[in-house]
Chains A and B, each alone.
Chain A
Amino acid sequence: MPKLNSPAELEELRQDILSRREPNKPCIAICAGTGCRALGCDRVIATFKEEVRKQGLVGKVDIKETGCPGFCEKGTVVVIYPQGICYFQVKPEDAAEVVSQTIVAHKVVDHLLYIDPITNEKAAYEKDIPFYKNQMRLLLGNNSKLDPRSIDDYIALGGYSALAKALSQMTSEQVLEEVDKAKLRGRGGGGFPAGRKWKTTRNAPGEIKYVIVNCDEGDPGAFMDRAIMEGNPHSVLEGLIIGAYAIGSCEGFIYVREEYPLAVENLNIAIKQAEDYGFLGENILGSDFNFTVSIYRGAGAFVSGESSALMTAIEGKVGEPRSKYIHTSEKGIWDRPSNLNNVETWANVPPIINNGADWFTSIGTEGSKGTKIFSLVGKVNNTGLVEVPMGMTLRDIIYKIGGGIPEGKKFKAVQTGGPSGGVIPEQFLDTLVDYDELIKLGSMMGSGGMIVMDEDTCMVDIARYFIDFLNDESCGKCAPCREGLKQMLKILNRITQGEGKEGDIELLEELSRIVADSSLCALGGTAPNSVLTTIKYFRDEYEAHIKEKRCPAKVCRSLLSYYIDPEKCQACLICLRNCPVGAINGGKNLIHYIDQEKCTRCGTCMEVCPSRFNAVEKIAGQAVPEPPLQEARVIHRGKS
């Protein structure tokens, strides 16, 4: 690859790439992100390649392995260009039909289209599919259009033009001013204004300054940053290089968690390509700006996503937070000014430079501008990544995009902000989602986790789950976080096991207040949010556990029993054979019952009982009926 020495040469290259491409040539774009890989997209890709060969279409159709378009619920996702037909849940055995029907005969394969769960209508294009059409995909939109391992794909879509513009038409001050005016806030959790942070680092004394990408995404169920890093790594790199220019840094780090091997792989390729074209290195695009970047792989600690801990880890020490009374933007890695932003924050920079701050501030709410990617998971029909303008309501995200709650169940709450966030109940579903509104409800934006819960979710158990996670992930350095979370977990364990005591709720509240107030870093500072919000909005559930020894959602094992309804049991032996502890009594034509002493409440019987019988039920807060008498248990089946 030739090194590009000026913005004009980049433009020339772009025109050259475009001239070599036929816009009407069919292209089969297959998601090769981690989600679809887990669903077996590797085999789908291989079969498509084989089919193209078999049907004599080599050279007449392209196959592109793309990043994640976000609709993970319906993977493997395949998009056919130039029409933009979306196929979902594509299996290897569908490849022959797609190639012969859509590519050759220009027909749509009906059974692979999106079917609306409510109207049963089919939709073929993004603009007609509710999951996509209600989003605003400024950052994720290109994921299904480019091969993350091809810098030419990125350049063809206008990539690195923002960098060229910044270097050739703007001073570093102007770039910083533009980002500041755009009111871009940090997407990693706190929502700190990026422009202000950049300014602090720029103005801090010291020759050597660092810029850092935080890709230590560790919230359970969240994968926004992974999708960008895997699917469009050049967008992050370009943002980082522009930021380095504005700040006056010539060295950058990208901290990627060890659990993201594909992100590291694609990023390594992207860095090499950017170096070859001269977007990294010395005299970038012919300017006097030099910048290099290296990848640092995290060792798998949630707390290392905290900025001071991350920087300590880059220094080669254990990733533990330190006091930030002097900001890391002034004294970070090796006490040098270090500007850290999250993956999504950096990816927002190129569009801001290209389109201007006024364009960016036209999107969103008063205090939160632009879009935000959420990982919409849990009890919701359309799980996946959704990118929406700031200020959309929770209801629209969950119902319009997410397609509501599966199996006709009732919505109970949504947990936002990952383990540091809180739960938000139904009465606040019309809240506009932005940094400030979520804080007002006791939760937070965090990095964009959004876990939907239905009526079958126990809120005490949810609080217990998050405290258990944080108790494991606390670094253990400061006493309130380490000892406080440990005791909170013990209390929550007791409550969910039916051993809660009068005063436990008040003790949890008191402990939460102190842990939040006195911990060393934001992990401890926000850790009690899940406890505080579940108590605030679902105190009755805590009380039911403590006072009545009842779990209203029938989740907490110690507080429920499984019972076989003798009226419904058909003595089919399925549960009896599947029970792992041999707790089910019965036989052929003999109605089954559960020995409550032996039962471990694993729920296997309920899972395996055929839905046409539906004989197993959960009982909470009341005595289990006695098993029927022996003679009443015999089923007499007449021969028909």
Chain B
Amino acid sequence: MKEVTLNIDGKETKAKEGMTILEAAKEIGVRIPTLCYHEGLSPYGACRICSVEIFRDKRSRVVASCTYPVEEGLVVKTDTERIIDIRKMIIELLLARCPNVKVIQDLALEYGVKETRFELENENCILCGLCVRACEEIAGVGAISLVNRGTRREVATPYYEPSTACIGCGSCAYVCPTGAIRMEDKGDTRIVQGSNWKTEFKLKKCEVCGNYWAPEAQLEYIREKANLPPDFFDVCPNCK
């Protein structure tokens, strides 16, 4: 693959064509904050906290480093005043939306945003969309999506009803940076829930140890995908 040379914060670096600025920066140890980025998922470009300034022909422009592809001769600055102002304002806005969310509080601390000048709400979800992408791209299920527009946007199952597509794998809860999606196993039941939807799953009992160890729907999904024999998951991995 072709390589390009670019300059990030004064450091000359080579990067493979097709990489993003964020990936190239990571390789040389330049840290750019992110909220909606995850290396295992497709880039989304929504939180804009990873904004950087690029310079070309004496003109500069703000771009999201998680989606902007590296180019030959590109000059990138990740910590100009313009960028810091943008990050601070986004943090302030998200702090108003989610004052009790730790990742936002941590970012606020890092960037010296002591308080928000905006009216407080009490949301947990920052709408980074990681859960939706994990469900679709990792689990291959697509049980949840971002619904509605603008300020009414939220993560939900279709019609807010318990999802019939969901397999209860919990990828969404695992990847959620704020705890807005919760997963809990109680006896023979797993509950996966967001702020306005909730789906329950029956857990499979191990024929040897008697422990409930995974949702039946998830095991059935894996068994079908991998073409495994019907009794393959009768015993849990610990007892196998």
Contacts and interface: CB of A to CB of B under 8 A. Distances in A.
Interface in A305-349: 318, 322-323, 325-326
Interface string B197-219: 00000000000000000000000
Q: Which of A472, A478, A479, A514 has the largest number of chain B CB atoms within 10 A?
A: A479
A480 B90 contact: yes
Contacts of A511: 89
Contacts of B153: 475-477, 482
Interface in B175-221: none
Interface in B142-160: 145-146, 148-153
Interface in B66-96: 67-69, 82, 85-86, 89-90, 93-94, 96
A323 B42 CA distance: 12
B119 interface: yes
Interface in B47-61: 47-49, 51
A290 interface: no
Contact of A483 (B35, B51, B96, B148): B96
Contacts of A475: 149-150, 153
B170 interface: no
Interface residues on B, range: 35 or more
Given A473-B150, A483-B97, A490-B118, A322 B45 contact: yes
Contacts of B150: 471-476, 482, 485-486
A100 B151 CA distance: 60
A386 interface: no
B149 A301 contact: yes
B95 to A, nearest CB: 10
Contact of B46 (A477, A485, A486): A477
A478 B146 CA distance: 12
Contacts of B46: 477-479, 520
B64 interface: yes
Contacts of B82: 517
B149 A480 contact: no
Contacts, number: 102
B19 interface: no
B22 to A, nearest CB: 12
B94 A483 contact: yes
A478 B86 contact: no
Given A301-B149, A471-B150, A482-B151, A520 B64 contact: yes
Interface string A463-493: 0000000011111111110111111001000
Contacts of A485: 150-151
B148 A476 contact: yes
Contacts of A490: 118-119
Contacts of A303: 149
Interface residues on A, range: 20 to 34
A519 B135 CA distance: 26
B61 to A, nearest CB: 9
Given A325-B68, A518-B62, A476 B152 contact: yes
A368 to B, nearest CB: 22
A511 B47 CA distance: 16
B113 interface: no
A510 interface: yes
A18 B62 CA distance: 58
B89 A478 contact: no
A507 interface: yes
Nearest to A326: B69
Nearest to A511: B89
B93 A479 contact: yes
B117 interface: yes
B90 A518 contact: yes
Nearest to B82: A517
B63 interface: yes
Nearest to B48: A518
A9 B205 CA distance: 79
Nearest to A470: B150
B141 interface: no
A482 B94 CA distance: 10
Contact of B48 (A471, A474, A476, A520): A520
A577 to B, nearest CB: 40
Nearest to B63: A325
A519 B47 CA distance: 9
B89 A514 contact: yes
B119 A487 contact: yes
B4 interface: no
Contacts of B151: 471, 474, 476, 482, 485-486
B89 A482 contact: no
B127 interface: yes
Q: Which of B35, B63, B129, B153 has the largest number of chain A CB atoms within 10 A?
A: B153
Interface string A264-279: 0000000000000000
Nearest to B36: A479
Contacts of A520: 45-46, 48, 64
Contact of A517 (B86, B117, B145): B86
B69 to A, nearest CB: 6
Nearest to B64: A323
A-B pairs with lowest CB-CB distance, top 10:
A476-B153, A483-B93, A323-B67, A514-B89, A474-B150, A518-B86, A476-B150, A323-B45, A487-B118, A518-B48
Interface of A: 301, 303, 318, 322-323, 325-326, 471-480, 482-487, 490, 507, 510-511, 513-514, 517-520
Given A326-B69, A476-B148, A487-B93, 16 more contacts: A301-B149, A472-B150, A473-B149, A476-B149, A478-B48, A479-B47, A479-B49, A482-B151, A483-B93, A483-B97, A487-B119, A513-B85, A514-B85, A518-B51, A518-B89, A520-B64
24 contacts: A301-B149, A473-B150, A476-B148, A476-B149, A476-B150, A477-B46, A478-B46, A478-B47, A478-B48, A479-B35, A479-B46, A479-B47, A479-B48, A480-B90, A482-B127, A483-B94, A485-B150, A486-B151, A487-B96, A487-B118, A510-B89, A514-B89, A518-B48, A518-B90
